[in-house]
Amino acid sequence: MKVLVIEDERKIASLIRKGLEAQGFVVDVCLRGDEGYAQAAARPYDVLVLDIMLPGRDGLSILRNLRDRKVPLPIILLTARNELNERLEGLNLGADDYLTKPFFIEELIARIHAVTRRASGATRSILVVGDLTMNLLTREVKRGETALELTPREFSLLEHLMRSPGRVLTRVQICEQVWSYDFDPGTNLVEVYVQRLRKKVDADAAVKLIETIRGVGYRMKAQA
């Protein structure tokens, strides 16, 4: 899941980034409203975490313009505890949710999952491919009855593959979606993580789910 955070307080922005990345999110941070608005309007994200008080362009202006342009991006506002009018205005302008400062990162993560599920119309929180299951809420992964212990980055890579069974994903696409990096042709980062996943997901299974498409990339084997 790719998250854009527009927050001018560096300490808060850093805490949000670290907290979300620890759970496997891909996070971009902008410290100015004008830069953040340009990025939100131009690049695909799953959710926007938006502070109201920003230099360059305030959060409500960003929200209003994104909604006027029909950008269907779920937006969570960050507000001061005593600014009720701003919260109400934000909700009326089309914000999906809000959090008052200070807040716990666990609550922000729960709000992100909630607004993205509502935005996609999805009621399921479990991905299933063959006998491989992934619970997006509890972050439990099982192959059959065997629980798999994955790092946050391994979880994100597997989730990306499981969301598109049968579809070939290039190394560039995987790197951009899972790591948010500009792809370096010389890196073997994707290969290393795919091999780690294979050892955990496919090693003891009769049916191998993670397939290499030589010269192209990888895919999760589609299962009836």
| Domains of the chain with bracketed CATH | 2-120 (3.40.50.2300), 126-220 (1.10.10.10)
CA 42 to chain centre: 17
Q: Do residues 5 and 40 make contact, with C-beta atoms less than 8 angstroms apart?
A: no
Neighbour order of strands in the sheet with 169-170: 169-170, 217-220, 210-213
pLDDT at 64: 92
State the burial class of residue 203 (Cβ atoms within 10 Å of its Cβ: 0-12, 13-18, 19+). Answer: exposed
pLDDT at 81: 65
Model confidence band, residue 1 (pLDDT cutoffs 50, 70, 90): confident
pLDDT at 125: 66
Q: To which residue do tokens 């909700």 refer?
A: 91
What lies within 8 Å, CB to CB, of 28 at 6+ separation is 2, 3, 4, 5, 39, 43, 45, 180
Sign of CA dihedral 93, 102, 35, 157: negative
**Angle CA 123–129–134, to nearest 5:** 55
81-137: pLDDT as tens digits: 666 777 788 888 888 888 888 888 988 998 898 888 776 654 456 788 889 998 877
Q: Residue range 177-193: average pLDDT?
A: 75
Q: Residue range 10-28: average pLDDT?
A: 92
Indicate whether 52 pLDDT > 80.
yes
> Nearest CA to 147 among 166, 133, 168?
133
Q: Residue range 149-166: average pLDDT?
A: 88
pTM over 0.85: no
Span of 49-53, 75-79, 93-97, 116-120 with lowest mean pLDDT: 116-120
